[in-house]
Structure 1
Amino acid sequence: MEVEGLKFRKLVNVRNFISKLASDYDAKCGKLNKSENLMTVECSGSNAKLYFEIKTERIRKPKVEKKEKKESENKKSEESADKQQEEKKQ
């Protein structure tokens, strides 16, 4: 069984996920090994052997939103300025 696409924000959630799966298969897990961008755990039991590789990545907020906000604010201010000019002309 291979699972991809799961994302965890905290290490506690990763440990809970691993321990839950290990308990489902009656397996005991070894130590969580950490490197720069990969964590590995091996669990083994009488009927199953589980191996987990977890890639770590930093979650960053996208900077695009700030630019979009500034552009929308500029458009709003331009629109309000245009409306004021039209009102003055009338």
Structure 2
Amino acid sequence: MISPKLTVNDNSIELEGLKFRELINVREFISRLAQDYDAKCGKLNKSENLMTVECNGNNAKLYFEIKTERIKKPKTEKKEEKKQTKEQKQEEQQKETKEQQKEEKSNS
């Protein structure tokens, strides 16, 4: 996992690499930072791939740009794993039946 990257310029701080799975987690992160600087935030503006919020306080002005990204789980791996487990089970069953047949022959 990539760790967050923090860049400090003249009067701005850029933070990259934080990922949130839920929108409420984004809102909580913004509200915590705003509380630290006694700033009040405006409305969360959403577009297709970007969310923006501006927070203003006596001593600070905060601006957040959050890029949205859809998280997709790879489905092919699961199918391959299922196939492998099925094949392994079939092989084990075949081995067991062969062993049973050998035992029956030796007992006869």
**Smaller-chain TM-score range?**
0.7 to 0.9
CA RMSD across the alignment: 1.8
Name structure 2 gaps, 5 residues minimum. Answer: 1-12, 104-108
Q: Which runs of 4+ in 1 moved over 4 A?
A: none
Q: How many residues align?
A: 90
Structure 2 residue aligned with 1:2, among 14, 22, 47?
Answer: 14
Shifted more, 11-20 versus 80-89: the winner is 80-89
What is the TM-score of this pair, normalised by structure 2? 0.70
Match of 2:73 in 1: 61
Instruction: Supply the AA of the counterpart residue of 2:102.
Output: K
Identity within the alignment, %: 69
Question: Whose relative contact order is higher, 1 or 2, with alpha carbons under 8 Å and at least 6 apart?
Answer: 1
Point out the structure with max Rg over C-alpha.
Answer: 2
Matches within 5 A, 1:1-90: 1-63=13-75, 64-90=77-103
